[in-house]
Amino acid sequence: MQKRLKFVITLLSLLMFVVACSNNQGTDQSSDKKEPASENMETVELTVSAAASLKDAMTAIQSAYKKEHPEVELKFNYGASGALQQQISQGAPVDLFFSAAEDKFDQLVDSGDIAKEDGVDLVGNELVLVVPKEEQSIIESFHDLAKEEVDKISIGTPESVPAGNYAKESLEKMDVWKNVESKVVYAKDVRQVLSYVETGNVGAGIVYKTDALISDKVNIIATADPGTHTPIIYPAGIIKDSKHYEETKDFYSYLQSDEAMKVFRDYGFTTE
């Protein structure tokens, strides 16, 4: 009887030992499991230099792109296309350039900073005349800018701000420029023009339609005839020396997608 009892006790002890070993092995295997790849994924930061007039549309696109590519951090540098082009020419660390003027973009293609095959004419825009919404204005057309009662008007600095260059070109074509040049208050970019008008510091301003649409403090009085100025085209391209070419290429392709194009149209850009 005692021998049988010892045998049973020994067998039970052996079974308990086997079960304990099995549990430890399972625990070890669980602890060896790798964390989800997304948690270990290295973040890549891309710098995008873009025309100031693109800010609202690009903010919306940035949010949508981030949902699909959480590993990519988009950093935007907004300003006048001419100033941005000069920064890139001088070696600023930029991955993608989104210009409001073809000539500024073409300078970077000609200098080799952007490969021709890595650039595309992406969207278009229109030029409009705006006045402060809260003030009664005598301005009903571009020609009214020449009236003596109109004290100041604002446009972007033509040499560095494409919208300002288009505005001057259009006013010259309308034979109005020579009568309004002395009234012009120049701005560093199109958003500053809009601000001058919103605050009533000037009686009128010429901006892109996309900028006018986002403001509830201005009224659009007239749209410039496209035949009075160079076509307003926004080209985008990858900087040749980008340290993250493949990631930039992916974002560059996304900007051409149907999803991104819808956002641009929602913000007033033309996509044809």
Residue 163 known to bind ligand: yes
Q: Calculate the CA 29 to chain-centre distance.
A: 47
Could you tell me if 152 and 201 are in contact, meaning their C-beta atoms sit under 8 angstroms apart?
Answer: yes
Q: Nearest 5°: phi and psi at 231?
A: -50, 135
- Exposed / middle / buried, residue 184 (Cβ in 10 Å: 0-12, 13-18, 19+): buried
Q: Which residues contact 116 (CB under 8 A, 6 or more apart)?
A: 109
Residue 190 known to bind ligand: yes
Residue 83 known to bind ligand: no
H helix or E strand, kind and range, residue 246 = helix 245-254
Residue 65 known to bind ligand: no
Residue 187 known to bind ligand: no
| Binding site members | 53, 81, 163, 190, 208
| Binding site members for molybdate | 53, 81, 163, 190, 208
